[in-house]
Structure 1
Amino acid sequence: MNIQKERKKTEIEERHFFVNRNIERAHNNIRSADEKYSKNIICNQKYSLFTFIPLVFAQQLKHFLNIFFMLVIILQLFPPVRVSHPLTSIFPWALVQVFVYIKEGTDDYKRYKRDKEANDKQCTRYTVGGAIRVPASELAVGDLIIVTKDERVPADAILLKTEEVNGSIFVRTDQLDGETDWKIKMSHSVFQQMDGFDKVAKSYFEVIAEPPSKDIYSFNGELLVGDTQHKVHEDNMLWMNMVIASGTSLCVVVYTGKDTRAVMNTTKARNKSGLIDKELNFYTKILCSMSFSFAILFTVLRGTYSMWYITLVRFLIIFSTVIPISLRVNIDWARVVYARGMEAHSDTPIVVRNSNIPEELGRISYLLTDKTGTLTTNEMEIKKMHTGDLCYTPDFIQEIYEMITNPKSPADLTACELLIAMCLCNNVIPYAENNKIGYISSSPDEMAMVRWAEKVGITLWGRGPGWVEIKTADSKKRYELLHTIRFTSERKCMGVVIKSEDKVYLYMKGADSVMKKLIIGKDWMEEEAQSMAKEGLRTMVFGRRLVSEEEVKELAQTHTISEDGLDLLGVTGVEDKLQDDVRVSLETLRNAGIKIWMLTGDKVETARCIAVSSRLFSRCSQILTITDIKTRQDADLAIKRIEREKDCLVIDGGSLQILMDMYKTEFITAVSMLAAVACCRCSPTQKAEIAKEVSRITKKRVCCIGDGGNDVSMIQQANVGIGIVGKEGRQASLAADVSVNEFKAIVDLILWHGRNSYKNTAKLAQFIIHRGTTLGIAQGIFSSLFNFCPISIYQGKISIGYVTFYTFLPVFSIVLSKDMSKKVSRKFPELYSDISNGSVLNNSTFSTWMFMGYYQGVVIMILTLFLFESALIQLVSITFSCLVLNELLMVFLCVSKVHNLMIIAQSISILLYFLSFKVLSDEIQIPSEWKKFLLQILLVNIIAILPAIVQYAWRIWMNPPSYRKIQATYSY
């Protein structure tokens, strides 16, 4: 019974459709496949038209402040417990909500525009009527499409036919799996033998494919042409985001949209909230507890028990001023300012796509980076060629050319043989392009070697079945290719058997660790290979030996040949070019206390070389390499080795997965202590899992940066995701929180913009809490001196004006404060680590601000009541004026440097306040003796602010922070 259910389930999930079932329908551009399949669209939006309001509202309910003030508003609607007009509570809360909805809507609309740009990208659909250009979003399962050189594959498709006779094409997959080597794909033989694309377009056939899955390394399917079934394998598949590197291909679309391998390996975008939001949520709960405590205490002290619950609720509403409702809106406004500042004040283009996380850039402890396209340009170049006697570099191209043209010594002849070996021992296919020779290769290393040989006068001129042709300055020579020993990741070497005139040679190349077992007379090889590896170069060792006639006969029968006994020809060192200023950037970030991990889909050897050349690993570091873990015993041993290490780790994807499955917490904890880590052969889901678990287990903030579609999951999972606009696509850029054009841009983004954003937001938040606390305590003192009467001293419009018109601009000007220039932040990256651990917002700083709020609230109310005998309206005027002036003065003590906009904001606030005496004369007024009135306010504020001045002076002159010491030397 279960077997029958399983079969039925498989039949339902299995993808089965017809192509060109009705030729007339196909001619009229009518789809053959069912409409049940997913649309071919990219969607990074968080909300739809219907979910926008409820989801944003649900997001707001995560913040305790919003829940509390909704309760206050509801209570204010009932007259028995009302202490002021309901608008005094409704207006601030509504203002906050309106801003949040505008901000979230704007951000999501921007994501919609970016998605639309990607979905509207044109591609070629092929029908009986010919080729037509359509947006990628209009493609459907069963469509025939044409993809040409340098075009991105718009959906998962089966390769039916290519323009190459043998049906092969090369593809680049670095945007899919992170691997830099080009892959070869083969068209299906049943269609490749047809004449032209038109013949295929007029063919009727069926496609049976496995259900959509994440696995990009396997595929099972069938083509039913007539009554014949033809198997389809992974070699026949083009996955979305692959880029065609050569030729033109005709394909049939099998999976679209969310069913494609690329999208299924991408995690759903999540609503990110910063660590500072969680911290402030915690502190607002403390404030709420204080508000409840005060309300209960004052209710008990009032001594009225018949209607005690009415009194309790009224006091609760009165003390709700301690909880700052404007906190959220101020922080959200600040984030908009930070985002615009990042985009406007950057040396390179920056686009902030998620304005909720600027402060997170100031809390980064771990940076997880992709390799290809992020740290490197994926452009290979030979930096050294060593033949034992001499070492050749690109600085001596002309000398090498002359030496090759006219060799005069045995060393010259050895160099010639090594260059010929570079041209013979590879899979590079040359072709003519604009009267120049061009090359197609699955390996950037092989491409670099062939181009190097071409520069010095030995050119790979042609390749065909069983032959290779090489051109020198004055002649061409064709070599017979008898056999090819293919490269595998296990063997780490490849070879060719070549017949030249009457002699047969075996040429081999490979990693030094493998070739040293096959070569005789290798006294200098290992030393030179190690020297190149320390420079971050990818080493390749070449060897050659003469093949006897007996071996040739045996090769023809068994297709195998002995690979040892080689004579050493030389060692080459290939450099994967780094992005501009990568070395300096990594060193600067490391000095800022940020630990850097490299997550790549590339091979272990490649990743290790880049880690060294980019200075992710220092040259004197001890590098622990862990590969091929299979059992729990291997995993136990690996954990112990990592715990003993203090430097660097290189680990392959298989071993990583086993350790994450068996010892996730122990592994992450141990690895997080290392200076740097390189994870190789990582799948997109592995990258995302590492980002998630590092943040969860270490309780630190993780930033991920990448440029490819295979990095999207990692970027979306990180606390902060940074996308680089890549050469092959914009998937990472579109899905990221912040988009940059090059890696070096993140130095200023993190060390300056991130540091300023976090520091200023922490100050702003605590200042606003202090402002509410001061007002609440003043109100409490007033009530306690008047028989604990639950009446608000500040009624109506002035209550609203306190946090809006009178203090908003000066307080908000804190977000524009800067304590150093970009240049200084780069020169002293250690200043970042001073605050990234949360030193500007913690229990100590919160307590200090709370004490200041308590003290100032008590002083302002008591001094006014006991030193100045005044009528109630004058009491309101004096105390309220003192509260406003106190906040304006405190702003000056809160910033590192006073700026012009702050002075303007202070002036506007003072002007608005004095105008209020005219407009709101029924609530506040200046007494006839206005000079005495001003002196009273000034005296009270001097006494109120004195402890803050003393504390500020002690902090600046007696125990100055690091940035203050630097300010004394570097002006900005």
Structure 2
Amino acid sequence: MPVHPAEEEENNSSAEDELTIFSTANNRVPATEFSNPTPPYGYYPHHSALSEQDEEEYHDKSPTFEQSQNPAAYGGGHPSNPRGTMQDINSSPGQQQQQQQQPIYDPLYEDQSPASANSYTHSAAPFNTSFNHNKQSQAQNPRYRPASINSKYAQADDEDEDDDNEEHNIIHGIRSIPLVDNHPSIPNKRATLKQPPIPKSIPLKERLERLFSTQPKELTGERLLYLNDAVRNQREYKFINNHVSTTKYNIISFLPKFLLEQFIAAFKEMTEDIKRGKSDAELNSRPAKVLSGDSYISKPWQDIKVGDVVRLESDEHFPADLILLSSSEPDGLAYIETSNLDGETNLKIKQAHSATSHLTSPELASSITGQLRSEQPNNSLYTYEGTMTLETSMMPSKQISISPDQMLLRGAQLRNTAWMYGLVVFTGHETKLMRNATATPIKRTAVERMVNVQIVFLFVILLVLSVGSAIGSFIRTYSMGNQLWYILQADSGKDKTTSFIEDILTFIILYNNLIPISLIVTMEVVKYQQAALINSDLDMYYSVTDTAALCRTSSLVEELGQIDYVFSDKTGTLTCNVMEFRQCSIAGVPYSDVVDENRKGEIFPFTDLPQILGRNDDQGKITNEFLTLLATCHTVIPEEKDELLNFKFKVRKPQSILIVANGVQEEYQVLNILEFNSTRKRMSSIIRAPDGRIILYCKGADTVILERCSAHQPYKESTLVHLEEYATEGLRTLCIAMREIPEEEYTPWSAIYERAAATVNGRTEEIDKASELIEKNLFLLGATAIEDKLQEGVPDTIYTLQQAGIKVWVLTGDRQETAINIGLSCRLISESMNLVIVNEETAEATAQFITKRLLALKNSSKNPADSEDLALVIDGKSLGFALDKSISKPFLELAVLCKAVVCCRVSPLQKALVVKLVKKNIKGSITLAIGDGANDVSMIQAAHVGIGISGVEGLQAARSADVAISQFRFLKKLLLVHGTWSYVRLTKLILYSFYKNITLYLIGFYFSFANGFSGQTLFESWTLTFYNVVFTVMPPFVLGVLDQFVSARMLDRYPELYTLGQRNIFFTRRIFWEWVATAVYHSIFIFFVTAFVFKDDLILHQGWGSGQWLWGTTTYLVTLLTVLGKAAIISDLWTKWTLLAIPGSFLLTLFILPTYASTAPHIGVSKEYYGLMPRMLSSSVFYFCLLLIPVGCLARDLAWKGYKRLFRPEAYHIVQEIQKFNLPDYRPRMEQFQKAIKKVRAVQRLRRNRGFAFSQTEEGQEQLIRSYDTTLKKAKG
């Protein structure tokens, strides 16, 4: 065939031109093939070289078109010589040189320079198989790109250049809109501000983040606002509105931010974010009353402005950060509950400044004007500084200071107060609550991180294979060119380096599916379905609140099966926030609200107490004193009339209490209140009874009360027995005692107490010393038992989680004794545990204690964790020291050695720091945080997985969490069942996806050795596409969504199975590469067996040659059946969907592939399949390969699976057998025996810890209640 002389000079032309020039002479094949005079069926190269459209273009453009019409003269394909050109092969070198002088023009390229029109596709046939190089071969080769595409690229490049200029102008702030206020009468302080241009050197991601950032800016200085003048505030300072959003995106920022993070998961992310947006919309649309003129109008929370005065009523939540102006209570007092902020349910008292407490009507509130100089927004919940200047028509300007006593934070709730007025100072994301909330983090699971690492290794392998193949192509081209002169031209003038780089890129494209690109999409869809299964689980539906589980972040579902540490809030998460009076012991007689039928006669109901009160014996007198103590010794302000035992607490005055006992109204003068604190563990009231007696009533922990009692105590022993019974039931107890104080003793003591109360330095210690002088020689009246009711199923859930190898830490804002008692009642702390209590006052003392204790544990045993069961209890102050870098590591080491950890009096920030400490320093640990209040949000977001309880404290935690549940007990099934299932399913999906792709696409690498590294594929291109999109798409979904390696019942019965996920037993590097090795083994077995079968161009019974495409299609179907068989082997649960996915996929292939192969060539697509199906389906060799080769591949897998089950079984293998054969479990009888042993031990020995029921703020209460008078008429507001 004539060849242009320039071909010898430009040997290293582009890969695209190589393929195109060879397509015009694709009839050149090895001379050895002419031993078979009969061509394969449908093998007519000159008919398939160009399509009709290409031939027309060829007619129009080719100057040598006439030469192409005489193929016999140039060795072209002709019906008379369809197998090739003997003229070319047998011609002399001189004739070949003459033929090379003829120019070749390629009609598929517009740029016909010598360097771009001189190459060809190389194809060899070591197995003597016929290869058909036609138009479809060009489409399969990634080097191929027509000129029309080049022209489109050129046009697109011009458009991109214009777009780049336009984008440059937009990004650099070049606008035609003037930033000037058109209203000259209204000064605009921001009118002259211009947006500074962003330097072009800044990365595009950072520029986009700057442009679309919605985070509030850090402000300095002070804030000035005008009271009752929202319009002026907005006009002059443009404060942000009160709309709050917890969504990750907005309309403007969604597209650029999301494309940078994860484009493939767009649909899933948008769906979940819409749900967050709906929750935000519900919160932002809550109504609030805002002062407008002389009346209040209703506005949604999002429309509240800085400077507005709002009116709130009892039980309403504060919509923004407010300054308390006045309330319905005397002296502007207001009672608030901050459980949504700090977890405490006891009420806190706030008091308006005396200068504003008289503003008790809309008219008065609207009459004031002035300014408030405030600190800038910050995240400190307990501090505030501001100065208010008041101006009214009735009095001159007055300046007052504003302190935290007047600060009401968003998220808190007004309680026991009819109404209050508040001035809005911080709104929206500037509120202290939102400042404590961190941005919604982007969380990645451990499995995803592992997959990403392995993908990197596989990509390195892909590069190695591509470089190796390129080297093979280079050697063949430049070292073996003279030997393969009939298909090669080794002396091409193209640069060798460029050719080598192009070959590398060619093979990268050819082998790229070794890494399953569709895996990410498959994982996201499967995770979304797994989240849907969690949402639809009726076992996690709470009918009381009509709330189901809600998985907000489906990308973390498999992480639920690998949790090592659970960090839990206490209030509202473990408990119900309800304190109920259950039992009491009076003068050695037990009483209860509910009496068991078996114990009637031993325990009496509360309803018997009124009868005893009427008696004149010792029992009646002691009962009367007992109930009088309960009615007077407290700091309670009456809200509802409680007449359970005919004792009604009616009125509190600054100096007295009025109660109604048995219908008789009595007034008790309050002389002194000796307040509770954690050191004293008791509280006392000294009162003057109506009969003139001075009585000290005292209640507190049994340890401190009993040691202050006199020697003669007739009811001590019986009361101790009752205390033990109460404690074993998990009730919180108080001992009740009293003494009468002679006047001559009280008078000098009162003087001592007054001097102590007036002390400036060390006042608390002096008051405690004075109290010790009077709190002695007490008489024990009895004891009370209060139930701090746990949520249903909490003890069982915590115990099961501990059995599953999960360590539970409780982080609470409650006091130490309360937290310990809850730990005991919920089975977090057992009776046999030794408590390690850390409550030091200084950092040095804390470090010394932790170091000393840790050293003692290490010296006690080689394995300190096994030496004794320990429970660590640490308060917030000591925790603050322990979190310091200098001692955080020893503290964490000590905490890890303990079976349980309880952190008391911790702030929201400390909760998050504890989680981060574990997350950062314990390698490989997966953390989970669960809470129900806004104070838990930072902890929830800091953990790997955040769980929100949608409970009584609002939905702030649930909105910010990854998963929302309504009860703590649902955590057991969420982790042990759904978490374990999701983890095992996803690991199977990932491993199987890698396996099936590597198995098929490695065959292409082996085939490169057969075709001389020409870049030719063994399989038809569209069939390759169908592999992942159609033929093997169902098995991964069924494995990832429906497979169950054991049932939910077994996972609940054997919580130890959860450790499989903690140890990551199903997805390690070793297991991943074992699957890769299996894929390599299967691909080698399939390729070389089929190559051996089809060697020497297998002659079929009709006399046809098999050809490349019959070999390739047979190999393809054998591989498909093998990978589907592998899916069947690893599937643990067979359902109708499994049958549809695995056998059904192969049946679908047997229908689609023949149909496609029979019809596609007739419409100009996949012409390789022309006439293929009749030959393949009539060949017995095809059925031999299809049936026997997959069996040979999978025999090793089946043998290995059987060996592991018989000789190296895992725990889940045993459980699977128990489930399969429904074997009985021996453990119920053992558990009953263990319960009996515990009951015996509980009776035989005293408990070391009995919690006491105090739930109030320490100190500072006497001054407040003495300023309260319930007889005063409350303002209507």
TM normalised by structure 2 equals 0.68
State which of 1092, 1112, 1127 in structure 2 corresponds to 1:866: 1092
2:883 is paired with a residue of what secondary structure?
Answer: helix
Specify whether residues 314 and 363 from structure 1 end up closer, same or farther in structure 2 by C-alpha distance, changes over 3 A only.
same
1:248-294 CA deviation, whole Å, 9 max, x = no partner? 11111111122212112222211111111100011111111111122
Aligned match for 2:570, one of 362, 371, 376: 371
Contact 2:332/2:357 (8 A) holds in 1: yes
The answer to whether the Cα contact below 8 Å between 1:518 and 1:563 also exists between their aligned partners in 2 is no
Which structure 2 residues correspond to residues 417-566 of structure 1 after superposition, within 5 A? Answer: 417-431=625-639, 437=641, 454-500=643-689, 501-516=691-706, 518-521=708-711, 535-554=729-748, 560=754, 562-565=773-776, 566=778
> In the alignment, is residue 284 of structure 1 matched against residue 507 of structure 2?
no
Q: Distance in 2 between matches of 1:464 and 1:852?
A: 84
Q: 5 Å matches for 1:811-822? A: 811-815=1036-1040, 816-822=1042-1048
**Structure 1 match to 2:988:** 763
Q: Which amino acid aligns with 1:748?
A: K
SS in 1 for 2:400: strand
Is the 8 Å Cα contact of residues 590 and 722 (structure 2) preserved in structure 1?
no
Partner SS, residue 1190 of structure 2? helix
Counterpart of 1:442 in structure 2 is none
Following superposition, the deviation at residue 846 of structure 1 comes to: 1.0
For the 8 Å contact 2:228–2:309, the answer to whether it is kept is no
Contact persistence 1:517–1:564 (CA under 8 A): no
Task: Give unpaired runs (5+ residues) of structure 1.
Answer: 1-8, 61-96, 439-453
Distance 1:605 1:233 in 2: 31
CA apart distance, 1:883: 1.4
What percentage of aligned pairs have identical amino acids?
Answer: 29
Q: Show the counterpart of 2:1113.
A: 877
User: Which of the two has higher C-alpha Rg?
Assistant: 2
After superposition, give the CA deviation of every residue in 1:425-451 in whole Å (9 maximum; x if it has no partner). 01122245xxxx16xxxxxxxxxxxxx
* Aligned pairs, number: 902
CA contact (8 A) 2:911 2:936 kept: yes
The residue aligned with 1:316 is 508
Structure 2 stretches of 5 or more lacking a match? 1-216, 392-396, 479-495, 542-547, 595-603, 755-769, 858-867, 1099-1105, 1159-1166, 1223-1277
Secondary structure at the residue paired with 1:176?
A: helix
Residue type of the alignment partner of 2:919: S
Q: Distance in 1 between matches of 2:506 and 2:1116?
A: 21
Write the deviation string for residues 639-695 of structure 1: whole angstroms up to 9, x where unpaired: 432562642111101111101113222322331232111111111111111112211
Q: CA deviation at 1:195?
A: 4.8
Moved more, 805-814 or 562-571: 562-571
Aligned-partner SS, 2:378:
coil
Q: What is the match of residue 1031 of structure 2?
A: 806
Say whether the 8 Å CA contact 1:321–1:776 is kept in structure 2. Answer: yes
CA shift for structure 1 position 35: 4.4
Q: Secondary structure at the match of 2:342?
A: coil
List per-residue Cα deviations over 1:938-963 (Å, max 9, x = no partner).
11111111111112222334433323
Q: For the residues of structure 2 that align with 1:233 and 1:123, how far apart are their CA atoms?
A: 25
Counterparts of 2:373 and 2:235, CA distance in 1: 12
The CA deviation string for residues 568-614 of structure 1, in whole angstroms up to 9 with x for no partner, is 33332322100011111111111111100011111111111101111
CA distance in 1, matches of 2:401, 2:785: 42
CA RMSD after TM alignment: 2.5
The aligned residue for residue 275 of structure 1 is 446
Query: Match of 2:167?
Result: none
**Within-5 A mapping of 1:890-901:** 890-901=1126-1137
Residue 404 of structure 1 is matched in structure 2 by 612
Distance in 2 of aligned mates of 1:682 and 1:898: 50
Equivalent of 2:915 in 691, 707, 714 = 691
Q: Is the 8 A contact 2:577 2:789 kept in 1?
A: yes
Distance 1:224-1:563 versus aligned 2 partners, 3 A rule? farther
1:698-847 maps to which residues of 2 (within 5 A)? 698-699=922-923, 700-815=925-1040, 816-847=1042-1073
Q: Measure, in 2, the Cα distance between the counterparts of 1:310 and 1:595.
A: 56
Q: What's the counterpart of residue 120 of structure 2?
A: none
Counterpart residue type for residue 668 of structure 1: L
> Is the counterpart of residue 250 in structure 1 residue 421 in structure 2?
yes
Give the corresponding residue for 1:53. Answer: 255
Q: CA deviation at 1:165?
A: 2.4
1:122-141 to 2 correspondences below 5 Å: 122-141=287-306
SS at the partner of 1:601?
Answer: coil
Cα contact 2:843–2:882 (8 A) shared by 1: no
1:590 to 789, 793, 802: 802
Query: How far apart, CA to CA, are the structure 1 residues paired with 2:629 and 2:919?
Result: 49
**Larger strand proportion, structure 1 or 2?**
1
1:470 and 1:916, CA in 2 relative to 1: closer, same or farther beyond 3 A?
Answer: same
Q: Give 1:545's aligned amino acid.
A: R
What secondary structure sits across from 1:920 in the alignment?
helix
Match of 2:904 among 666, 680, 684: 680
Q: 1:161 Cα shift?
A: 0.9
Q: Report if aligned partners of 2:556, 2:945 keep a CA contact under 8 Å in 1.
A: yes
> C-alpha deviations, 1:395-438, integer Å up to 9, x for none?
33345424533346424432332221111101122245xxxx16
1:955 equivalenced with 2:1208 (yes/no)? no
Deviations, residues 495-539 of structure 1 (Å, cap 9, x unaligned): 222111121112222334544564434765788767755654333
**Which residue matches 2:1190?**
941
- Specify the alignment match of 1:444 in structure 2: none
1:92 maps to what in 2? none
Partner of 1:262: 433
Of 803-812 and 455-464, the range deviating more from structure 2: 455-464
Query: 1:552 deviation in Å?
Result: 4.7
Moved more, 597-606 or 252-261: 252-261
> For the residues of structure 2 that align with 1:371 and 1:642, how far apart are their CA atoms?
27
Answer yes or no: is the 8 Å Cα contact 2:290–2:298 preserved in 1.
Answer: yes
Residues of 2 paired with 1:145 and 1:591: CA distance? 52
- Post-superposition offset of 1:361: 0.2
In 1: Cα distance, 2:514 partner to 2:621 partner = 86
2:572–2:953 Cα contact (<8 Å) kept? no
Bigger CA drift: 780-789 or 690-699? 780-789
The 3-state SS of whatever aligns with 1:729 is coil
Give 3-state SS (helix, strand or coil) of 2:373's partner: strand
Q: Give, in angstroms, the shift of residue 550 of structure 1.
A: 3.5
Secondary structure of residue in 1 paired with 2:920: helix
Tell whether the 8 Å contact from 2:1127 to 2:1142 is kept in structure 1 after alignment. Answer: no
Q: Which residue of 2 aligns with 1:4?
A: none
Contact 1:505-1:545 within 8 A present in 2 as well = yes
Report the secondary structure of 1:420's partner residue.
Answer: helix
Superposed CA offset, 1:43-97 (max 9, x none): 221223333233223224xxxxxxxxxxxxxxxxxxxxxxxxxxxxxxxxxxxx4
How far off its partner does 1:180 sit?
2.2
The 10-residue stretch of structure 1 (925-934 or 471-480) with the greater mean CA deviation from structure 2: 925-934
Please tell me whether the aligned partners of residues 321 and 775 of structure 1 are also in contact (alpha carbons under 8 angstroms). Answer: no
> 1:765 offset after TM fit, Å?
0.3
Alignment correspondent of 2:240: 38
Offset of 1:34 from its aligned partner?
5.1
Alignment of 1:551-700 (within 5 A): 551-554=745-748, 560=754, 562-565=773-776, 566-642=778-854, 644=857, 646-661=869-884, 662-699=886-923, 700=925
User: How many angstroms does 1:932 deviate by?
Assistant: 4.3
Q: What residue in structure 1 maps to residue 1252 of structure 2?
A: none
Q: Deviations over 1:352-396 (max 9, x none)?
A: 111110001011000101111100001012344234623333333
Name 2:163's counterpart in structure 1. none
User: Counterpart in 2 of 1:920?
Assistant: 1157
Tell me how far 1:831 sits from its aligned partner. 0.9
Q: 1:352 to 1:405 in 2, by over 3 A?
A: same
